[in-house]
Amino acid sequence: MRRLIVLIVAVPLVFPGAALAQETPSPSPRSLAELAAAVQQEIDFFTGVPSASLPASDQDAYRNYHLVRVDLFIGSIRQEAHATLASEITDAALAAAIWELDGAATPNDVATALAAKPFPTDDEERFALDWVGLYVAIDRLRSVTAGERPVRVCPVAGTTWFVDDFSEPRPWGRSHTGIDLNGEFGTPLQAIEAGTVVQANWHWAGGRQVWIRADATGDVYYYAHLESWARWIWTGTRVEAGDVIGTLGWSGDADAAHLHFGWMPGSSDVDLDNLQDAYPLLLEICR
């Protein structure tokens, strides 16, 4: 159906690049329209008038609270969109065609990817159009907050692949408290945000490891299994987002090259009880 392709080409944007077991069933993923509405609400917050329900003295603090969470918010929306795609589209070829809209670089790339893909029903075509509409909204949110939210980069400065393996069971009754980012041995690792190295040490399980406390957010990030540290990395070292802090390896209790990445939001110090699932955040910044 050619009208889908025409509508996509007309959109001026750049497209982007285990949960805990529960006794009750997980809620159904929100529709793409509901997700787009949530993104639009966030856009309205950043582009609209200040909230009448907040005192003037609290406006800046509330805005900053939202700004430091934009990457996490977008990643969470994209994660939900993936779940919606999986629940709504059962045809593998069609799902793959729509999936390309998640990582295509330009609208022309999207059009090229979809040109040879059949959308045999109106419902399927409508889903693809809704998918595009969601990513129009996401791109708009990225644009209106650019230059204001904290600069974050993917901790792996090279090709990497990962899944949401947070809380997956591990030997001796443990659970996985991070996300494993796989990549080629020796790939540079970089500081995700500007901040301070809280620790740079060796541990029998984590091997060569680095902990960074971010300036803007207070988040603490944990890097484990490094093949080597950068020579200038010590406890107390200042880093900027994108500074190379070491290389990807399998030191400690690891049998393949990967970065074990941990995230403690707002901790301001190493707080292992506050390790959270970083998958949505990584999904956005590792596009």
Residue-range domains of the chain with CATH:
2-145 (no CATH), 169-285 (2.70.70.10)
- Please tell me the distance from the alpha carbon of residue 208 to that of residue 200, in angstroms, as a whole number: 8
Using alpha carbons, list the distances in angstroms from residue 26 to 33, 35, 277: 20, 17, 17
Mutual angle of helices 70-88 and 32-47, in 10-degree steps: 160
User: Higher confidence at residue 283 or residue 2?
Assistant: 283
pLDDT in tens, 225-263: 999 999 999 999 999 999 999 999 999 999 999 999 999
Q: Can you tell me the distance from the alpha carbon of 80 to that of 90, in angstroms, rounded to the nearest whole number?
A: 17
Confidence category of residue 49, pLDDT binned at 50, 70, 90? low
Percent of the chain scoring above 90 in pLDDT: 62
pTM score, whole prediction: 0.85
Bridge partners, 175 (sequence order)? 169
Confidence of residue 50 (pLDDT cuts 50, 70, 90): low
